[in-house]
Amino acid sequence: MSPSKIRFSELVGEQTRAEIFATVLTAGPISRTQLAQRLGLVPSSVTRMLPPLLENDYLREADTAPQGRGRPQKMLHVNPDKHIVVGMKIGPAQVSGVVTDMAANVLARAEEAIADCTPETALSAAAALTSRLLSEAPEAADRVLGLGVGVSGHVDSASGICRYSALLDWNKVDVAGPLREATGLPVVVNNDVNTLVVAERWFGQGRDIDSFAVVTVGPGIGCGLLLDGALFSGATGLAGELGHLPLDPAGPMCSCGRRGCLEALAGDRAVLRHLQDAGVPCATISEAVDLARSSGGSAQTVARSAFAEAGAALGRGLAGMCNLLNLQKIIIAGEGAVAHDLFGPAMSQALEAHAFSTAARDCDIHVDPVRHDLWARGAACLVIRDAVGAAIS
């Protein structure tokens, strides 16, 4: 059934069931009353939503020992052994994956470098890595729920197609079809930063926060949004392309072929270009980071101002997003986040300078340390979320 054919009440029901499962996973063991309170639901709604999750053994309910003179309470918890799930991130230079249980605990992880990122190479590497990961859990071969895949760019999750990725140079690439055929598993595909949003929501900095963004910095500027408690993908999965916010019509060319996008002003290439133009060329961004953190000299001053300029552009982009969405938190992640000491102060300053009313004050900025398997773990969570939402066994 296409999403447009699903009745609205069914869609709300699926979302609520997925939220119930995620809350039990992150806050459990938890009583029905506590669960209703945390989700802002009336207890009868929770009672109505629980049977498919309990009957299909996704959740279990057990008595706890009485505390003091209180009666024993029935507490809900996730059944971690119901299924195992594979999560995968496809990047330009490597594919990385995890196997998790239903509580999103990582049971195995692996990664594989790829010689190029053509769809053929990347998808066959992802299929091979899936087999390798599953071979590490042979006892669970009949309990594999599915494969979740995160890919950069504009991903239509309903069809499993990557419509466009500047980073991978992909146009209309069917990701789900070939992987389904190669692995024999149900496949869920989403934008890779969206997989991080789900991971942060379930067990990271986004717990108990209903409106936040994950912004990844590095070669590209990515963004995923959770608005009013739900992943926000927009009409066709394009939402969150913060990196292509047009900030300067006279600015440098962007990887998307347009001029002056935020990514062209704040991504790694912007920093390297600044250094090149100032006569202090650096071959890699880590070389630029080392130079900016070195002890003194004019080259260090140039490197520091390159990061500050990128940070200021990022801050203007974040201000635009905060003014539009009134976010509670922005989580800065991605490989470039390690240079936060260099771009962070200028970023915060520009965010405050361009924020309307209390938009900057309302929004906490949090820098997440680099955790490589979080992307793939988030992709596994997408499979779990979809399955418990639909409550299929």
The residue among 200 and 241 lying less far from Zn ion, judged by its C-beta, is 241
Cα maximum dimension of the chain? 76
The residue among 145 and 266 lying less far from Zn ion, judged by its C-beta, is 266
Is 375 in contact with 89 (CB distance < 8 Å)?
Answer: yes
CB under 8 Å to 280, separation ≥6 — which residues?
291, 299, 302, 303
Least distance from C-beta 351 to Zn ion, angstroms? 21
Least distance from C-beta 338 to Zn ion, angstroms? 24
Q: Is 59 in the site for Zn ion (CB under 5 A)?
A: no
Least distance from C-beta 210 to Zn ion, angstroms? 29
Distance CA 126, CA 87 (A): 10
Least distance from C-beta 25 to Zn ion, angstroms? 37
Least distance from C-beta 327 to Zn ion, angstroms? 22
The residue among 75 and 271 lying less far from Zn ion, judged by its C-beta, is 271
Least distance from C-beta 84 to Zn ion, angstroms? 38
The residue among 182 and 256 lying less far from Zn ion, judged by its C-beta, is 256
The residue among 128 and 247 lying less far from Zn ion, judged by its C-beta, is 247
Binding mask 36-55 for Zn ion (x = CB under 5 A): --------------------
The residue among 75 and 264 lying less far from Zn ion, judged by its C-beta, is 264
The residue among 204 and 320 lying less far from Zn ion, judged by its C-beta, is 320
Other Cβ atoms closer than 10 A to 68? 4
The residue among 59 and 167 lying less far from Zn ion, judged by its C-beta, is 167
Distance CA 328, CA 244 (A): 22
Q: Looking only at residues 67 through 106 of this chain, which bind Zn ion when binding is defined by CB under 5 A?
A: none
Identify which of 126, 130, 128, 96 has the alpha carbon closest to the alpha carbon of residue 110: 96
The residue among 22 and 270 lying less far from Zn ion, judged by its C-beta, is 270
Total residues contacting Zn ion by CB under 5 A comes to: 5
Least distance from C-beta 216 to Zn ion, angstroms? 15
Strand order in the sheet with 154-156: 154-156, 161-165, 170-174
> For residue 340, how many C-alpha atoms fall within 13 Å in the half-sphere facing its CB?
16
Least distance from C-beta 261 to Zn ion, angstroms? 3
Q: Which residues pair with 226 in a beta bridge?
A: 212, 231
The secondary structure of 324-388, three-state, reads HHCCCEEEEECHHHHHHHHHHHHHHHHHHHHCCCCCCCCCEEEECCCCCCHHHHHHHHHHHHHHH
Least distance from C-beta 165 to Zn ion, angstroms? 12
Distance CA 131, CA 141 (A): 10
For residue 118, the SS3 value is coil
The secondary structure of 229-251, three-state, reads CEEECCCCCCCCCHHHCECCCCC
Distance CA 360, CA 189 (A): 33
Q: Looking only at residues 234 through 273 of this chain, which bind Zn ion when binding is defined by CB under 5 A?
A: 244, 254, 256, 258, 261
Q: What torsion do the CA atoms of 289, 295, 300, 306 make, to the nearest 10 degrees? A: 40
Least distance from C-beta 239 to Zn ion, angstroms? 15
The residue among 254 and 285 lying less far from Zn ion, judged by its C-beta, is 254
Q: Which residues pair with 247 in a beta bridge?
A: none
Q: Which residues bind Zn ion (CB under 5 A)?
A: 244, 254, 256, 258, 261
